Amino acid sequence: MTQSLRVALRPDVPHRSPFVELRQSLASRTADISPFVDRLMQFLKPFLGEFRNADGSDLDIEIAVREAIANAMIHGNCENPQKHVDVVCRFSMGGEVAITVRDQGHGFDHRALPDPTGPDNLLLTHGRGIRLMQALMDEVEFAEDGTVVRMRKRLRLPG
């Protein structure tokens, strides 16, 4: 598991907020998802501090990241531990969390996925991860034929 931390406390481009960023490359082993997400949330905790309130934004981020990484490992990389999932998490001091998850799979068309709320799918135990990510985050987009998911959550100050 490789990891890097980048901190930019002074913006080098006008109109950009300073940020902290964590980059991690994970082998496609589902057992590594929870320990990594736990560390990621610990990394974010001091920065979320002033923005945390009763709206549950930190839990939204945690669930969405778990789903994105699980999808990348299971569906993208077919649980091949020789393939990696790259995660970049950036917190801007303006209160935005941006997360990118990239797998080494063949991609997919997210628009062609069956509706998990359809009558034939209601009792299935899978197929809700993307819908969940879309419900919890402010923005979710897929790129590079579905091998990359980008998510954003804008946090608000209490009051």
Q: What is the pLDDT of residues 65-98, one digit of tens each?
A: 999 999 999 999 999 999 999 999 999 988 899 9
Architecture of domain 2-10+18-154: 2-Layer Sandwich (3.30)
DSSP conformational letter for 42: H
Is the model more confident about 156 or about 45?
A: 45
Q: Are 87 and 24 in contact (CB under 8 A)?
A: yes
DSSP conformational letter for 137: S
pLDDT at 10: 45
Residue 1 has pLDDT above 80, yes or no: no
Q: Are 88 and 23 in contact (CB under 8 A)?
A: yes
Average pLDDT over residues 44-62: 78
Q: What are phi and psi of 52, to 5 degrees?
A: -65, 135
pLDDT at 7: 52
pLDDT at 54: 53
pLDDT at 19: 86
pLDDT tens, residue by residue, 119-152: 776 665 666 789 999 999 999 999 999 999 999 9
Which 3 state secondary structure label does DSSP give 71? helix
What percentage of the chain reaches a pLDDT higher than 90? Answer: 55
